[in-house]
Structure 1
Amino acid sequence: MLSQEQVRFFQENGYLIVEDFYTREQIAAYKEALEETRHAKGEHSFVHNQGGPYSMYEQKVNLWRDFPRIRELTFDPRRAEMVKQLTGSTEIRLFHDHYLIKPAMDSRASNWHQDQPVWPMSEDGPVNCWIPFQDVTVHNGAMAYVAGSHRWGTVKFKANREDEQIEVEGKTSGETKIVPVPIRAGSFLLHHGMTLHYAYPNKSEEPRYAMTVIYLPEWTTYNGNKHPVTEGLSLTKGQHFEHDMFPVLTSAG
């Protein structure tokens, strides 16, 4: 469980690093399982970004539906309990998982963005968990955040990935300070769906492996917008995500 200080840090900054949660042996085994998913054709998971030369990343979505070892990692109830602490929700559902693999040497920095505006949900509160499978630094694709930006609502901004600069409408340069977050294998990051963030390019000689798991508090409802994960599910605008595709990971009951 998280300490009161960790909860306070997340509420103030919109992100939190949980150090050394898995052993290096555990995360190495999960990395091997993740590598297998790249070359396996699943019945339900799907490639959303192919990757390739000078791409931001390679991406495959809904791994949990096809690959038991990755499902084990995605469904870890301890992380879901942490999200329950951070949000105050009595129930946490899975939206989806996906891997994000930055190619070696020639990847681009990811676009600055807020997650929430591109997710098909109306209410604030969803949390993203970012799990690296090796030590990650600025050199090989670490995450970076604008601390406190989760409290600003949906923002308009201009960003230069190469110069690591961002200008947010209505905010001073002091308020938009970029915070790089290097992280060790076995640790993970949690960030609020409205926190501005991006990932540095991978300039190392090895691919950078990471995976995200997106959590939904109980009050989250579908806003009717198109999204690859909700396509074909016949969800109705305004309904809660009570569907087998969005399983409960932890609840008060």
Structure 2
Amino acid sequence: MLSESQLQSFHEQGYLKIPQFIDGQTLARLQMETEALHEEMAQLAIEEDRVGPNSNLKNGAGIAWEEDLEAGKLRIRQLINSECVCPSIAEILESESMLSVIRQLSGEQDIIKFHSKLLMKPARDGSFTPWHQDWGYWQSYRKDPSQINCMLSIDPATLENGCVRFVAGSHKAGSIEHGTVPSASFSIGLEGDIDAYDATPVETEAGDAVFFGSLIIHGSAPNKSNQERRANTFAYDKANNTLDEENEEPLLK
């Protein structure tokens, strides 16, 4: 159960960090299951001849690749629908501990899964994530910016390996128009390099979680370190908020 001060901080700052959100046993299993996923999914994309700017695999997962790497080098930037290929992610996504926090932060009881993505941010190759609001992408198929995102750290996230930076309070300005950016993974974003905003770097230990809404401005620097910076984002929304009513996700219990 979140405290009043935690709820107040979330609504004031636009994000909330919860240390040790999952226990050590769950974290160890998550780390073990995701350790080999990069090579397995990259190899599967090759076998299915689905290596392109973005790849949809037969198992339901999708891949967005790192760009501007040396010829022949494949590095996954994002593994979309990660719950399809990682049992521990699927369990965390629907866990009572997760759904309880989402309901408290959103003020909604009827919630659905919006998406789950494994963010690889690989050592030495993890690229700059442009400044953006998640709503900049999601407004084309959702009615209201009511989504809540949880970024769960699988590895420690530091300044050196590209932890996420949040512009505290920026969600209060509402939706901001996004422009095109030179990235296949991020077709739109906000202008500026990593120093463009007065942002707070949020460093985390493995097992920590950061919850944030869809209107807060955030981004991350490249990972030039020798340390991986894996994290999974679990996004949720209130029910009946899709513009595509025929494909509404079922309610989470």
Please give the range of the TM-score, normalised by the shorter of the 2 chains.
Answer: 0.7 to 0.9
Preserved contact between residue 15 and residue 191 of structure 1 (Cα < 8 Å): yes
- More deviation, 109-118/198-207: 198-207
Is the aligned partner of 1:207 residue 2:228?
yes
Counterparts in 2 of 1:17 and 1:248: CA distance versus 1, 3 Å: same
The RMSD of aligned alpha carbons is 2.3
2:112 counterpart residue number: 93
Count of matched residue pairs: 221
Q: 1:248 matched to which residue of 2?
A: 251
Aligned partners of 1:62 and 1:97 also within 8 Å: yes
Moved more, 70-79 or 130-139: 70-79
Tell me the CA shift for residue 161 of structure 1: 2.2
Q: Secondary structure at the match of 1:112?
A: strand
Quick check: 1:161 aligned with 2:193?
yes
Provide the TM-score with structure 1 as the length reference.
0.79
3-state SS, counterpart of residue 29 of structure 1: helix
Give the Cα separation in 1 of the matches to 2:75 and 2:159. Answer: 15
The answer as to whether partners of 2:163 and 2:220 remain within 8 angstroms in 1 is yes
Structure 2 residues not aligned, in runs of 5+: 45-56, 179-189
What is the deviation of 1:219?
4.6
Q: Equivalents in 1 of 2:28, 2:14: separation in Å?
A: 28
Residues 154/214 of structure 1: CA separation in 2 closer, same or farther (3 Å cut): same
Counterpart-to-counterpart distance in 2, 1:178 and 1:210? 20
Unpaired stretches in structure 1, ≥5 consecutive residues? 167-176, 223-234
What are the residue-to-residue correspondences of 1:40-55 with 2, within 5 Å?
40=41, 41=44, 43-51=58-66, 53=69
Q: Taking structure 1 as reference, are residues 21 and 67 closer, same or farther at Cα in structure 2, changes over 3 Å only?
A: closer
**Separation in 1 of the partners of 2:111 and 2:246?**
12
Does residue 139 (structure 1) correspond to residue 160 (structure 2)? The answer is yes
More helix by share: 2
User: What letter corresponds to residue 234 of structure 2 in structure 1?
Assistant: V
Match of 2:169 among 145, 148, 155: 148
Change (3 A) 1:68 1:56: closer
- The SS at the match of 1:160 is coil
Quote the residue 1:116 is aligned against.
Answer: 135
Structure 1 residue matching 2:132: 3-state secondary structure: coil
Using the alignment, how far apart are the partners of 1:152 and 1:48 within structure 2?
32
1:174 maps to which residue? none
The aligned residue for residue 11 of structure 2 is: 11
- Which moved further from structure 2: 130-139 or 73-82? 73-82
Deviation at 1:143, TM superposition (A): 0.8
Q: Given that residues 156 and 229 in structure 2 are in contact (C-alpha distance below 8 angstroms), is that contact kept between their aligned partners in structure 1?
A: no
- After superposition, give the CA deviation of every residue in 1:71-115 in whole Å (9 maximum; x if it has no partner): 112222211111111111111110110101112123322110000
1:33 is displaced (CA, Å) by: 0.9
Judge conservation of contact 1:145–1:195 (CA < 8 Å) in 2.
yes
* Aligned-pair CA distance for 1:20: 1.2
Letter aligned with residue 115 of structure 2: H
Q: Where in structure 1 do 4 or more consecutive aligned residues deviate above 4 Å? A: 54-57
> What's the TM-score once normalised by structure 2's chain length?
0.79
1:181 is aligned to 202
In the TM superposition, 1:211-230 aligns within 5 A as: 211-222=232-243
What CA deviation, in whole Å up to 9, does each residue of 1:213-251 have, x standing for no partner? 1101125222xxxxxxxxxxxx3xxx3863xxx24224x
- Does 2:87 align with 1:68? yes
Q: Is the 1:219–1:240 contact (alpha carbons within 8 Å) kept by the matching residues of 2?
A: no
Partners in 1 of 2:225 and 2:200 — Cα distance?
A: 21
> For 2:252 and 2:96, how far apart are their aligned partners in 1?
6
Instruction: Tell me if the contact between 2:149 and 2:236 (Cα under 8 Å) persists in the aligned partners.
Output: yes
55-64 or 113-122: bigger deviation: 55-64
